[in-house]
Amino acid sequence: MYHIAALYKFCQLENPSELKNELLELLANKNILGTLILGHEGINGTISGPKEDIYLFIKELRKIIEFGDLDIKFSNSTKNPFIRLKIKIKKEIVTIGEKNLNPIELKGDYVEPEDWNALLAQEDVFLIDVRNNYEHKIGKFQDSVNPKTNNFREFPEWVKSLGLDNEEKSRNKIAMFCTGGIRCEKASSYMKREGFETVYQLKGGILKYLEKIEEKKSLWKGECFVFDERVSVKHDLSEGSYDMCHACRMPLDSLDKESEYYVKGISCSNCYNTKSNVQKKRYASRQLQVDLAKARNEVHIGPKNLLSPKSIK
């Protein structure tokens, strides 16, 4: 069983490169995979590994003064949802593309998962799914608005397209949700900056809601997309039923895989007409290598040496 930790924290980091080296040292002797993103605005990422290694790393991470109250969601998986360990340094730890946006100073009000249903029961609440269109399609809160964005950078333009004046912005009560909470930090900060006075965000995101709320009391419908090899999770954060098209990275259900355009590892109905023959041949070659590695009980792609920080890029 693999233990998974999804984490983030907006905070001022003076030297992300120096912190990266420090984290590499902490991870060097641990069997942990995943991705961590560092920037001057904080940390974001998801990691997996044996429970003992994950808890020890989190304990060490929280000793770093900026990460004492790190936001973390834990879950489990029968398979490792990652194939390598990466630590990246980026301008934004979650990219919305808006300048001078600071969730540390300005953002929406948190709503605990236990209080979320009561908020949604109010008739004057405008509920927004901050995630991408393909995420919304496989699971959502009932009556939520889908901005139909392809990536998070499109969210500000969608807000502008609503065409609300200042009076309407002040009158509307906004509630928003995303996978683990981090996109709502940026989205709520943007909406507050644009004049929306009352903005709420689900604390801990969908993942925390699915962990805390019993399925019989839940307003969540479907599964929650996650950005790793699990593809999706259900209530209580158990592994979901979706697979992924490794050509376009879209989630696929059983009906999608019955399509004439679906070829494992090569194409699906979402991307068949957008991929060239050269690309399809490349995907086919990759899938063959994956199948051969699986037959030999090997991993096709992964770190060469988990114990060496030099192997981590």
The verdict on whether 178 is a catalytic residue reads yes
Q: 288 and 204, same structural domain?
A: no
Q: Which pLDDT does position 56 carry in this prediction? A: 97
Query: Within a domain: residue 33?
Result: yes
Residue 144 lies in a domain: yes
228 inside domain: no
The answer, yes or no, to whether residue 296 has pLDDT greater than 70, is: yes
DSSP the chain: -EEEEEEEEE---S-HHHHHHHHHHHHTTS--EEEEEEETTEEEEEEEE-HHHHHHHHHHHTTSGGGTT-EEEEEEESS-S-SSEEEEE-S-SS----TT--TTTS-PEEE-HHHHHHHHTSTTEEEEE-S-HHHHHHEEETT-B----SSGGGHHHHHHHT---HHHHHH-EEEEE-SSSHHHHHHHHHHHHTT--EEEEETTHHHHHHHHS-GGG--EEE-EE-SSTT-EE-GGG-B-S-EE-TTT--EE-TTGGGSTT-BTTTB-TTTTTTS-HHHHHHHHHHHHHHHHHHHTT--SS--S-TT-GGG--
pLDDT, residue 308, reads 36
Cα 306 to Cα 83: distance, rounded to the nearest angstrom: 11
Q: Does residue 88 sit within a domain?
A: yes
Please report the pLDDT score of residue 79 as a whole number: 87
For residue 257, the enclosing domain spans 245-301
Q: Quick one: 113 and 59 in the same domain? A: no
Residues 128 and 181 in one domain: yes
Is 219 inside any structural domain? no
User: What CATH number is associated with residue 161?
Assistant: 3.40.250.10
> Final residue of a domain: which of 29, 58, 93?
93
Question: Looking at 178, 224, 268, 271, which residue is catalytic?
Answer: 178
Q: Who wins on pLDDT, 66 or 303? A: 66
**Where is the domain boundary, 158, 192, 212?**
212
Task: Please indicate, yes or no, whether residues 87 and 113 belong to a single structural domain of this protein.
Answer: no
Please provide the average confidence, as pLDDT, over all residues in the chain. 93
Domain assignment present for 183:
yes
Residues 172 and 115 in one domain: yes
Q: Are 188 and 141 contained in the same domain?
A: yes
Total domains in the chain come to 3
pLDDT higher at 291 or 218: 218
- Position 71 scores a pLDDT of 86
Same domain, 116 and 142: yes
> pLDDT digits over 33-47, tens only?
999 999 999 999 999
Per-residue pLDDT reduced to its tens digit, 58-80: 999 999 989 999 989 999 999 89
Residue 312 has pLDDT above 60, yes or no: no
Q: Are both 188 and 275 inside the same structural domain? A: no
Tens digits of residue pLDDT in 101-114 = 999 999 999 999 99
pLDDT above 80 for 298: no
What is the percent of the chain where pLDDT is above 70?
A: 95
Q: List pLDDT tens digits, range 237-293.
A: 999 999 999 999 999 999 999 999 999 999 999 999 999 999 999 999 999 998 888
Residue 48 lies in a domain: yes
CATH of the domain at 56: 3.30.70.100
Identify the band that residue 294 occupies on the pLDDT scale cut at 50, 70 and 90.
Answer: confident
Report yes or no on whether pTM surpasses 0.85: yes
pLDDT attached to residue 304: 42
| Per-residue pLDDT tens over the stretch 118-139 | 999 999 999 999 999 999 999 9
Residue 309: pLDDT over 50:
no
What backbone phi and psi angles, to 5 degrees, belong to 310? -65, -20
310: pLDDT strictly greater than 90: no
Task: Answer yes or no: do 155 and 184 share one domain.
Answer: yes
Whether residue 136 sits in one domain with residue 51: no
The answer to the question of residue 104 being in a domain is no
- CA–CA dist 6, 31 (Å, integer): 16
Domain termination site, one of 66, 93, 120? 93
pLDDT at 301: 62
The answer on 186 and 130 residing in a single domain is yes
Question: Do 204 and 263 fall within a single domain?
Answer: no
